Chain A
Amino acid sequence: MVSTYTVEGLIRDEKRQPVANLFVEAFDSDFGSSDDYLGNTFTNRQGLFKIKFKEKAFKGKYEILEKNPDVYLVISDDYGVVKKTEIKSRPRNGVFKFDVVIKDEKPFYDPYANSTQRMLTLFTAASDTANISQVNPNWTGALLLRSITSWLHYSDPRTGKIYGYPGPQVIARPKEFPNHDHTIPWRRTAKK
């Protein structure tokens, strides 16, 4: 068993370009007790980093079963943690090598999701601007009723097909199917 260990590696972005000035912290994952802190450093211009630590950093007085450390990295930029790596337990000649790619792993936002919730949020601002003393209750009641009925009936464009209206001419989720066609099935007037 070696007494001095090294954690080193390279951190790159999605375009495989090295990322400088990331704060890299190395930990030893322990079962049943808090993880041991092994050291920290910043990545250099080439995205490279190196942290050295000794056996005593991860092997406490009573950790008699601990042989090699189970190393993982917590990488953060100026604004927070950007990546927590998987655990590596088998060093080669005391060296743990990490090749890390920082990806934006947040799922894509669905712009069409929660449209009713978004609409209600927007209505909140709009409702603040009404002057109740000037509102004609008959007119407003009718407007509200018509809005609700219209919304219930015609928010689904398929309802219009009953009346011969073909509705939207593009698929509902265009970006999920980037090869969708742009032809309009209904008559498009053309130059004669």
Chain B
Amino acid sequence: MEEDCQEMIHGLEKIRDRREAYTMVNHDIVENADVCVIGSGAAGAIIASKLALEGKSVVLLEKGGYYDAEDMNQREIEMIPLLWKNGGATFTDNLRMLVVQGQCLGGSTVINDAVCFKTPQITREQWRQMGANISDEVWDGALDEVWTNINVSKVKDFELNENNKMLKRACEQKGYISSSNDRNCKDCMQCGFCHLGCHYETKQDMLVTYIRQAVRNSDANIRIYCNCSAERITYDEGVVDGVEGDFVDRATGSVKFKIRVNAKVVVVSAGAIASSQILLKNAIALDRAGKGLTFHPASFLLGRFDKPINAYDGIPMGFTCHQFGVTNGVRDGGFLIESIFLPILQFSLGIPSFFENHQLLMKDYIYYTMAGVMIRDDPTGTVTLTATGNPKVHYDPSDRVMKDFARGLRTLAEMWFDVGAREVIGGHRDILKLESKADIDKLIRAVEANPDGLTIASAHPQGGNRMGDDPATCVVDSNCQVHGFSNLFVCDASVFPNAVGVNPQVTVMALATMTANYINKNWKNFAKVALVSREGEACSLKQPMYCLSSRLETMFNREESRMPVETMINAAEGSPDAWSFDKKEMMIYNNSHWKGFFAVDQDIATMAVRYFGGFWKRFFIKDGKLAGVTHPYDAPVYADNVPEMMDHPRYGKVVYLKYTSPEFAMFYDLLKIVDKDTILGKAFFGVPPNGNQILVFSMSRKYNVDFMTETDHEKIYTEHGRAPELDKVLGRWTGRLVSDSAQTPHVQTFTYTKDNFGKLQMQYVFGGLLSGISRVTLTPEQMYMYDFTSWHDEVRTVTDDFMVGKWCSPPTKIPLDFGPSFLSVEDVPEGKRFCLRFTLKRRM
């Protein structure tokens, strides 16, 4: 079967015997597709699969890795770092609540308990009232389609283990409305390890349903890239043209390769929190994204019995008490009581006890029943970005939520005692054990008096990119299309207007089904979007400044020098057309010389030349002959060159660049002119053709602003910069230092806000360590910023999303001739000053 499949899944990890055909990524990638989907969970997988099966070419980007059933070995310490986002350590900013999400191909559907609820009628009505205009007919059609495709069936009575049966018995004794759960599982093996991925492939997650359906269909045009973090969505005036991302090694966190996807439609389905993070990083819906998160916070109670319950043995979540929840007509808030059990490490982490107490509790592991109270909470959470672009989640459970917790925990404690529990053990650190019903009041008082003492966790983050037809308050419309964008969608739990009230996976899948149907149905509108041919930060012959040395080496060896040597001649000094700047493409054309670029490898030598060691070469006609000069930025050296064509035994036709001054005569370069603005080169020590290669490099007359030199910066500052306007500068900007040598990493974050008096202020974070507040002054020429040092910043706006600035010292009379590549010297009326130049982008 696999033999016949095209290799549609790609990633960084070579694992034996994949279920689906798999190819290793070993270079940068540029893709052209109809649709690019970010995230492969409950929404992304469905949208990508459905569109691919409808004939669209689809690229699906997944941050996690691809692990199939035979990789799932049921060991918590080994599976959690593979499948859970942040290794299971995602917390709210006050570390109060754990938030569990999946991060692997298939997303959270791989690690959830397979519980399926159709979107409750009450929730649908409330969402309609909140502006999400989806009719019941559309809901029902999408829900039924999903229900069939993921093979949902009711848990049979014989599949209920003792833990589930205890909850069922307790509900029956109380007369509460309850039922066995629906689950997307076929012939469940009842192993109890759902949270660690299903080894038996009985759970019908996205991997074995929608994704498999697409990748095994030879007509479907889908490419899936795993280990790929989508970082940038590129757009202009409400039209998205693609996505750029990084392939990241999970063991070290280092970026291995880059990807650029040119697409007519982009769908963000990275899940609640991550989808808001992507929007915020890309300055999309900045005033609305990341607001209104809900979590379904849950807390558990254990019942300790005299006989072994063996709750680990069997389906963990097989039964639900609906009495107090939205599934029983409760309109505002409320809660569900759901059976649950955890493998031993997760169980141990969840119990708020220590040392001997903990040991005593753990030794009765097989004697416990366990159920959780899951609250339908209010949309009060937020996601913002940290200085380094990570999502910071803030959430304080409201008073109403804590009241529901108190009510739910009282009810559940009574239920466990009713069915014979000797003790009830709770998640509140002030009262761990309840020995009889009389102790329940103590628990409730503890919850009321010290709400922060209650252990709560969430596996259902929702909201943040609210759906609704009001563009002033909502991020997406009722079709999941981002307001103000003609071809950008967000579809996952992040669009929920408020908490759905039940386990959300089926609701997410239904919304994804509707979104895919909408895109399909209206494809003729999206097809009109012109596919751009950008290459992002991917290495290619056109932009070798992004290449690794191995790739540069291969390109040099394989490519022919295609242009005559005269192509290298630069514009006359002082020529007005020698330099220009394209604001739209953010490209610099500089024909005053050829800017040299080193390879972008992450080794120590390459990283060391980010700030020192850059060079340029200039070619001209002197005495009727072609001549040249090489200049390293950091030294007052101008080495004379003579270029000649040469037929090299190994490299074929090349330009042999001699160094004619005696002090450099032991060096030479070989150059290949691959297009009118691009040269590949190798530097040698010795005598041609047998010299020893020192390094491989490239040179160009066209480069992105991220590679600008200090001179480029000054030109852009003076010729294209203007004073920023207060309202347009508000928000978060990330910056790089300008170095003549190479592209430097993002190093600073500036966040502009208004203070209580409406005055502009700026919070800076430099290098992820140094932070503070700067006073900001706007003048007709530029923006000034002052902090606690004697240096100050001067900043000008170039476009709405790009500014250039410099951090300058006080003037001095000391003669300063030159500085290193990243520190320029400026003449001012009072003398000279040092300036550290930087650029700022609103989009990361």
Q: Interface of A with B (CB < 8 Å)?
A: 23, 25, 34, 37, 40, 57, 76-81, 104, 106-109, 111-112, 114-115, 117-119, 121-126, 128-131, 134-136, 139-140, 142-143, 145-147, 149-151, 153-157, 159-160, 162-165, 167-176, 178, 182, 184, 186-192
Tell me if B314 is interfacial: C-beta within 8 Å of chain A. Answer: yes
Tell me if B525 is interfacial: C-beta within 8 Å of chain A. Answer: no
Closest Cβ of chain B: how far from A66's Cβ, in Å?
16
Contact with A along B48-91 (1 / 0, CB 8 A): 00000000000000000101001111111110111001110111
16 further A-B pairs in the complex, CB-CB below 8 A; given A79-B550, A111-B78: A37-B689, A115-B78, A119-B81, A121-B253, A122-B81, A122-B87, A125-B86, A130-B91, A146-B358, A160-B344, A163-B364, A170-B199, A172-B73, A174-B70, A174-B73, A187-B313
Given contacts A122-B87, A130-B91, A135-B95, contact A146 B314 (CB under 8 A): no
User: Could you say which residues of chain B place their CB within 8 Å of the CB of A169?
Assistant: 74, 191, 193, 199
Best-buried of A108, A150, A167, A176 by chain B (most CB within 10 Å): A150
Indicate if the CB atoms of B650 and A79 lie closer than 8 Å.
Answer: no
Indicate if the CB atoms of B252 and A121 lie closer than 8 Å.
Answer: yes
| Bound-state Cα–Cα, A78 to B30, Å | 14
Best-buried of B67, B76, B343 by chain A (most CB within 10 Å): B76
Indicate if the CB atoms of B354 and A163 lie closer than 8 Å.
Answer: no
Indicate if the CB atoms of A129 and B74 lie closer than 8 Å.
Answer: no
Indicate if the CB atoms of B159 and A189 lie closer than 8 Å.
Answer: yes
Indicate if the CB atoms of A155 and B95 lie closer than 8 Å.
Answer: no
- Determine the interface band of chain B, counting residues with CB < 8 A from chain A: 35 or more
Indicate if the CB atoms of B344 and A76 lie closer than 8 Å.
Answer: no
Indicate if the CB atoms of A78 and B81 lie closer than 8 Å.
Answer: no
Closest Cβ of chain B: how far from A139's Cβ, in Å?
7
Indicate if the CB atoms of A126 and B15 lie closer than 8 Å.
Answer: no
Binds A, one of B214-222, B387-395, B417-425, B718-726: B387-395
Indicate if the CB atoms of B650 and A126 lie closer than 8 Å.
Answer: no
Closest Cβ of chain B: how far from A83's Cβ, in Å?
13
Indicate if the CB atoms of B390 and A128 lie closer than 8 Å.
Answer: yes
Given contacts A119-B87, A182-B200, contact A78 B73 (CB under 8 A): no
User: Could you say which residues of chain B place their CB within 8 Å of the CB of A121?
Assistant: 250-253
| Bound-state Cα–Cα, A77 to B75, Å | 40
Indicate if the CB atoms of A123 and B89 lie closer than 8 Å.
Answer: yes
| Bound-state Cα–Cα, A125 to B95, Å | 14
Closest Cβ of chain A: how far from B698's Cβ, in Å?
16
Given contacts A111-B13, A160-B344, A186-B313, contact A191 B89 (CB under 8 A): no
Given contacts A76-B557, A169-B74, contact A118 B27 (CB under 8 A): no
Best-buried of A112, A136, A154 by chain B (most CB within 10 Å): A154
Indicate if the CB atoms of A130 and B95 lie closer than 8 Å.
Answer: yes
Indicate if the CB atoms of A154 and B348 lie closer than 8 Å.
Answer: yes
Indicate if the CB atoms of A23 and B70 lie closer than 8 Å.
Answer: no
Q: Interface of B with A (CB < 8 Å)?
A: 13-17, 24, 26-27, 65, 67, 70-78, 80-82, 85-87, 89-91, 93-96, 156, 158-161, 189-191, 193, 199-200, 250-253, 308, 310, 312-314, 343-345, 348-349, 351-354, 358, 362-366, 386, 388, 390-394, 429, 452-453, 550-551, 553-554, 557-558, 649-650, 689-690, 692, 768
Closest to A123 in B: B89
| Bound-state Cα–Cα, A115 to B65, Å | 14
Closest to A159 in B: B344
User: Could you say which residues of chain B place their CB within 8 Å of the CB of A165?
Assistant: 312, 344, 365-366
Closest to A192 in B: B158
Between-chain CB contacts (< 8 Å), 13 pairs: A23-B557, A37-B689, A125-B390, A129-B390, A129-B392, A142-B354, A146-B358, A154-B348, A155-B76, A169-B191, A169-B199, A172-B73, A191-B158
Closest Cβ of chain A: how far from B630's Cβ, in Å?
26
Indicate if the CB atoms of A109 and B75 lie closer than 8 Å.
Answer: no
Closest Cβ of chain A: how far from B45's Cβ, in Å?
21
| Bound-state Cα–Cα, A157 to B73, Å | 12
Closest to A188 in B: B190
User: Could you say which residues of chain A place their CB within 8 Å of the CB of B156?
Assistant: 191
User: Could you say which residues of chain B place their CB within 8 Å of the CB of A156?
Assistant: 77
Given contacts A80-B554, A119-B81, contact A175 B15 (CB under 8 A): yes
Indicate if the CB atoms of B94 and A76 lie closer than 8 Å.
Answer: no
Indicate if the CB atoms of A149 and B354 lie closer than 8 Å.
Answer: yes
Indicate if the CB atoms of B189 and A188 lie closer than 8 Å.
Answer: yes
B253 in complex: contacting residue of A57, A124, A143, A167, CB < 8 Å: A124
| Bound-state Cα–Cα, A13 to B738, Å | 45
A128 in complex: contacting residue of B16, B27, B388, CB < 8 Å: B388
B386 in complex: contacting residue of A78, A112, A129, A184, CB < 8 Å: A129
Indicate if the CB atoms of B87 and A123 lie closer than 8 Å.
Answer: yes
| Bound-state Cα–Cα, A169 to B198, Å | 12
User: Could you say which residues of chain A place their CB within 8 Å of the CB of B80?
Assistant: 119
Closest Cβ of chain B: how far from A55's Cβ, in Å?
14
Indicate if the CB atoms of A79 and B27 lie closer than 8 Å.
Answer: yes
| Bound-state Cα–Cα, A189 to B313, Å | 9
| Bound-state Cα–Cα, A187 to B189, Å | 11
Indicate if the CB atoms of A118 and B81 lie closer than 8 Å.
Answer: yes
Indicate if the CB atoms of B73 and A173 lie closer than 8 Å.
Answer: yes
The 8 tightest CB contacts between A and B, nearest first, are A122-B87, A168-B74, A131-B93, A150-B348, A155-B77, A134-B94, A79-B27, A80-B550
User: Could you say which residues of chain A place their CB within 8 Å of the CB of B75?
Assistant: 112, 157, 168, 172
| Bound-state Cα–Cα, A169 to B192, Å | 10
A80 in complex: contacting residue of B73, B86, B553, CB < 8 Å: B553
Indicate if the CB atoms of A150 and B15 lie closer than 8 Å.
Answer: no
Given contacts A25-B557, A172-B75, contact A154 B391 (CB under 8 A): no
Closest Cβ of chain B: how far from A62's Cβ, in Å?
14
User: Could you say which residues of chain A place their CB within 8 Å of the CB of B191?
Assistant: 169, 184
| Bound-state Cα–Cα, A151 to B16, Å | 29
Indicate if the CB atoms of A164 and B345 lie closer than 8 Å.
Answer: no
User: Could you say which residues of chain B place their CB within 8 Å of the CB of A142?
Assistant: 352, 354, 429
| Bound-state Cα–Cα, A129 to B15, Å | 32
Closest to B691 in A: A34
Indicate if the CB atoms of A78 and B15 lie closer than 8 Å.
Answer: no
Closest Cβ of chain A: how far from B839's Cβ, in Å?
23
User: Could you say which residues of chain A place their CB within 8 Å of the CB of B86?
Assistant: 122-123, 125-126
Given contacts A109-B14, A123-B86, contact A167 B344 (CB under 8 A): yes
User: Could you say which residues of chain A place their CB within 8 Å of the CB of B200?
Assistant: 182
Indicate if the CB atoms of B649 and A104 lie closer than 8 Å.
Answer: no
B73 in complex: contacting residue of A145, A149, A170, CB < 8 Å: A170
User: Could you say which residues of chain B place their CB within 8 Å of the CB of A129?
Assistant: 90-91, 93, 386, 390-393
| Bound-state Cα–Cα, A188 to B353, Å | 32
B14 in complex: contacting residue of A106, A151, A187, CB < 8 Å: A106
Closest Cβ of chain B: how far from A169's Cβ, in Å?
5
| Bound-state Cα–Cα, A182 to B191, Å | 10
Indicate if the CB atoms of B93 and A80 lie closer than 8 Å.
Answer: no
User: Could you say which residues of chain A place their CB within 8 Å of the CB of B159?
Assistant: 189
| Bound-state Cα–Cα, A124 to B768, Å | 12
User: Could you say which residues of chain B place their CB within 8 Å of the CB of A139?
Assistant: 95-96, 429, 452-453
Indicate if the CB atoms of B90 and A126 lie closer than 8 Å.
Answer: yes
